Structure 1
Amino acid sequence: MKNFTLSILLLLFSFSNAHAYQTKSKTAASKTTVATKIPSSRNTVKIDNVIIYKFLTQYPKLKTYRNDLLSLYKNRSYTSIWLKGGRVIEFADLLYSKTTELEQEGLNSKFAYKDKVDNIFSQQLKKIPATTNNELLLSSMYIFYAKKVYKGIDSDKIKEIGWFLPQKNLSYSSLLTTLLDDPQALNKDEKLLFDQYYKLRDVLQKYREIERNGTWNFIKRDSLIREYKPGDTAKTIGQIRQRLAVTGDLLQDSKSDVYDEELIKGVLNYKKRNGYNQDPVVNFSQINRMNVPIAQYIKTILVNMERCRWIAPELTKAPEYIIVNIPSYKLFYKRDGITELESNVFVGGTMNETVIFSGDIKYLVFSPYWNIPTSIVQSEIKTAMQTDKNYLSSNDMEWNNGNVRQKPGPKNPLGKVKFIFPNSNDIYLHGTPSKDLFDSEYRAYSHGCINVNKSEELAFLILKNDPDWPAERIRSAMDGGKETTCFLKNKLPVHMGYFTSWVNDAGEVSFFHDIYERDDRLAELLYSDEVK
């Protein structure tokens, strides 16, 4: 009897506990459901694929973010990123502020559901509902900002306009981790964006201020005067002085109409910045360029900021590398971040554009043969042979079954050395015997390769630390008349870039002619992609 009574008591106790557990579970589930709708200090939001799908159905303009949202939350175990304790995290406030001030980043883009996000932040003095929609709206705002500022326009469109430099692999999840750890990286971080971007951004603010102040005055020319030189007096000279004070080439505007020593310094600085020869004479062409509306210069800055977004910052972090800026006709050899050589170059003409891409110099060829491209043989050499039967021999050329090559020597257009970075475009760097041509301000004459004025100096610098190639051996190989190959122990990165505006380390901006007419096409793509 006692055993029977004990069994009954145990059964009743177990039933009581089970009922209590079920009641507690239902209450907790009810509280969890309510927590996604009303403020609570223990609010949390869980995100899954179904929730993201429903969100994008409700906000269809964000459907292109689907994979990015899924990846973002997968890497964070599908937990809330932005909503903690009924409030948005502090970093979200900073991100929201940056998103509403995109003009400072050279963009006029607007987030598709900006009004919804505005509503979230208008409730900041109160606790806001920790709903999945609010959470996903903030994540979408983050992806929107990251795409616009850190990535730029679609990579397929970039290739369509002929840009083949390596593009950065942007992980929105990794980027977010970086920004959450250091929110000030939103303002500037050269690990996230090519450092030239920030320099152009500073200049953009300066030029916009000039535009607001209305000091970009038109320079009136006297049609009877073709150029202005030191010692001249004219109202136009006073207007040039005023412009150079605005651009910072002169420290101040003395209001003088006399072309004096002070103005000479300003003119020479202006010319140096913008790729002109260093003489103090100001001609009609240069005044016409000064009269380009400031809005056009601002547009140029904007498209070059966009180009900077495509470049992986580590591209210019190698111990040594070469960069060629096609519009400025300049080559820079950098070692440990220092420019060791700057040289004028020739680039491809409009019918033979130099391709924008990267490669690695693997070897140098001293006293090189020039294997003349078939296109040149067909279009130039054969025609010359028809009019002069001694054309080949008089130009140190050899014929072999339709192929033509030119022997090493003073007539060889490759000069004393060429720098090979194997590529499908058959582009390389080389010297030239025609040094006087580098005095020309327009230097887009080559068939696509890069003619380097200081090619010999470049070779010495590249091999400076190679004990197998002392200076005497290099000089002998250059002058020996016999083709000699020198393989580098470490490959040397070389980048062909296209920047029509560039800021140096002193903060001085240069503007170059858009020789391949790329800026307008890029501007169209940039502006058509604004409100997304």
Structure 2
Amino acid sequence: MIRFRSTILVLVVCFSAFALTGCRQSEKKGNQISADSLKRKAIKEWNKTIPGSFNSEKDLFFDTTQIESFVKAYPLLEKYAGSIRKFYSGRQHAYAWYNKNGLIEQAGNLADRVKNLEKEGINKEIPYRVTFDSLLYARTSKKPDIKLELMLTAQYFAFAQLVWQGADASVSKASEWYLPRKKVSYEQFLDSMIKSPSKFTATQAPPVYRQYDLLKGFLVKYRELDRLDHWPRIIADQKSYRPGDSSQIIIQIKKRLFELADLKGDTSSIYYDEELLKAMKSFQSRHGMSADGVIGIGTINELNVPLKTRIRQIMVNMERSRWLPVQLNSDYLAVNIPEFKLHVYQKDSLQWSGNVVVGQSVHKTVIFSGDMKYIVFSPYWNVPPSIVRNEILPAMRKNRGYINQHRMEITGYSEGLPTVRQKPGPGNSLGQVKFLFPNSYNIYLHDTPSKSLFGENERAFSHGCIRVQDPAKLAAFLLRNDPSWNDQKISAAMNSGKEKYITLKDKVPVFIAYFTAFTDRENRLNFRKDIYNRDEVLANMLLNGE
């Protein structure tokens, strides 16, 4: 049922205008307010009260009961009923997808995206897609169809949940992802989308973390490579290949690197030349390997990873991208565990990156976020009870001088265990500075005396905390807006041997994430090993429904 509320209002205004004229018959004709002018003004003011009425048919409405009838007819869309009601309530139940010329352009854009969910890394369909197609393409009139109107809106919210919001929070929690999920008003985004025809095209930035769209482009490429079905296994005929070597296998390696866009030139030569060296270093860098150009068994194994495995890896990390905030217009720190990297951002722009050491597979670094509040120079290390029980006590039994030799001290006893802490100094396990963002996991960033570990390609050696390669640089970044601190004072505090707490004037968000596929600043696709075996768990939940 369509209601013409403005028409009713106009009748009321006309009557009021007539009454005004009758009361003021003695006034001069030139001062009289015409009914037509009052009518135009009333309609204009009425339209201002309808937020979200972006089509030109602003006086076209439908009855609220139509939504309930629609949901009853299409029960698989009932989960989106709340969003549908909220969206139309904000529009005073005005049509969204129609104007005086019929369906607006955005309807076709939405239909195209819904039909191509596979390109979004989604392996399922939105309910009633066939019905949607029938309603959309079988229409014979420009007259608004309430069923198609509501189906378009329902399909939009289903699309937004699958493609932009991602799987239910229970899925992220089951994959041990404790970063808070993003919050986006998809009702407001639909409003703005209806205003702008281009906003729902595949080329426009969606309300998703930027890595999502970048990975999506590579998903298309890898699927095309897989469709061509020419990914033979490379079998080495010698232990390794170095510049100057020659082999028929080198031709296969060059072809593989050409398909992966690392190699730009000739692929027919059997010689390991400078062009191949440059391409191989690019490939190794993208896979977190030592970029020395030596083609050993490890590099051959990476070259032989099946395309379907990589496609699955890309899709899993697209899903993770759906969970993150779209953007942060602030400073923040991000640690990517499988990459063994800390990324430092200023106003959402990457400033620099550095190596980190993360938790071993038996002491996994937790995926979560917090707000950094403190820097502690020359810190004590309060040894966790688990380390006291499993490492310190056995060492003390073997060596009575263990505590003194490691500059430790016992400050008390708790639940049958000594309370142990290590004194500040260069040999302290936390190094000369730590960075605290209070959390229930007792995880923080810190310096380390074991600098050699940063030279390893795979750096999962800690008990869960994150060791930073260049802590002085990080401290300088965090204190750069505090005039009382400079590089010299930071160095002095780190080497003072006396613990000193500094409270940051502004908290800095810290995100500890887990991405095994991502793009770098050169827009190159990177892959990393799934060191905690989290990819397969998430893939099975997403792709196999386990």
Q: 1:412 aligned to 2:423?
A: no
Structure 2 match to 1:498: 514
TM-score (norm 1): 0.86
Contact 2:377 2:494 in 1 (8 A): yes
Matched with 2:316 is: 303
Residue number in structure 2 paired with 1:110: 125
**Alpha-carbon separation, structure 1, partners of 2:74 and 2:99:** 23
Counterpart mapping for 1:171-320 below 5 A:
171-186=185-200, 187-190=202-205, 192-222=207-237, 225-315=238-328, 317-318=329-330, 320=331
Query: Residues of 2 paired with 1:406 and 1:42: CA distance?
Result: 72
Q: Deviations over 1:454-480 (max 9, x none)?
A: 122221232233211122211111111
Q: Are the equivalent residues in 2 in contact too, given 1:207–1:294 (CA < 8 A)?
A: yes
Cα distance in 2 for partners of 1:529, 1:71 equals 30
- Asked whether the 8 Å contact 2:105–2:197 carries over to 1, the reply is no
**What SS class does the counterpart of residue 338 from structure 2 fall into?**
coil
* Contact 1:416/1:478 (8 A) holds in 2: yes
Amino acid in the other structure paired with 1:386: R
Q: State the 1:388 CA deviation.
A: 0.6
Give the Å deviation of 1:230. 2.2
2:318 is aligned with what amino acid?
A: M
Matches within 5 A, 1:36-47: 44=60, 46-47=62-63
Residue of 455, 461, 468 corresponding to 2:484: 468
- Residue 183 of structure 1 and its aligned partner are, at CA, apart by 2.9
Aligned residue number for residue 389 of structure 2: 378
Distance 1:245 1:379, change over 3 A: same
Cα displacement (A) at 1:529 = 6.3
Native 8 Å contact 1:86 1:128 kept in 2: yes
Q: Determine the C-alpha separation between the residues in 2 that align with 1:90 and 1:364.
A: 54
Counterpart pick for 1:427 among 443, 447, 452: 443
Aligned mates of 1:228, 1:411 — CA distance in 2: 41
Structure 1 position 305, deviation (Å)? 1.0
Alpha-carbon distance between aligned partners in 2 of 1:94 and 1:529, rounded to the nearest angstrom:
29
On the 8 A contact 2:58/2:94 being kept in 1, the answer is: no
More divergent stretch after superposition (158-167 vs 90-99):
158-167
How far 1:61 sits from its partner (Å)? 1.5
Matches of 1:196 and 1:221, distance apart in 2:
35
Q: TM-score, normalization: structure 2?
A: 0.84
Distance change (3 Å), C-alpha of 1:176 and 1:307? same
Cα deviation, residue 75, structure 1: 1.8
Query: Could you tell me how far apart the structure 2 residues matched to 1:45 and 1:177 are?
Result: 16
Larger relative CO (CA 8 A, sep 6+): 1 or 2? 1
Q: Is the 8 A contact 2:359 2:460 kept in 1?
A: yes
Pairwise CA RMSD? 2.1
Q: Give the Cα–Cα distance (whole angstroms) in 2 for the partners of residues 53 and 429 of structure 1.
A: 53
Whether the 8 Å CA contact 1:42–1:85 is kept in 2: the answer is no
Secondary structure of the residue aligned to 1:493 is strand
Quote the offset at 1:216 in angstroms.
3.2
State how far apart, in whole Å, the 1-side matches of 2:541 and 2:469 are: 36
Q: Please name the residue that 1:484 is paired with.
A: 500
For residue 376 of structure 1, what is the amino acid of its counterpart? I
Shift of 1:371: 0.6
1:327 match: 338
1:180 aligned partner, one-letter code:
I
Aligned equivalents of 1:166, 1:182: Cα separation in 2: 30
Paired position in structure 2 for 1:127: 141
Q: Structure 1 runs of 4+ off > 6 angstroms?
A: none
- Per the TM alignment, residue 253 of structure 1 is displaced from its structure 2 partner at its CA by 3.2
- Contact 1:334 1:340 (C-alpha < 8 Å) held by counterparts: yes
The Cα of 1:424 is off from its aligned counterpart by: 1.0
The change in CA–CA distance for 1:509 and 1:261 in structure 2 (over 3 A counts) is: same
Q: Give the CA deviation at 1:496.
A: 0.6
CA contact 1:204–1:298 (8 Å) conserved in 2: yes
**Matches for 1:48-197 after TM superposition, within 5 Å:** 48=64, 50-84=65-99, 87-124=102-139, 126-127=140-141, 130-186=144-200, 187-190=202-205, 192-197=207-212
Asked if 1 retains the 8 angstrom alpha-carbon contact of 2:181 and 2:323, the reply is: yes
User: Percent identity between the aligned chains?
Assistant: 39
Q: Structure 1's 387 and 203: CA in aligned 2 closer, same or farther, altered over 3 A? A: same
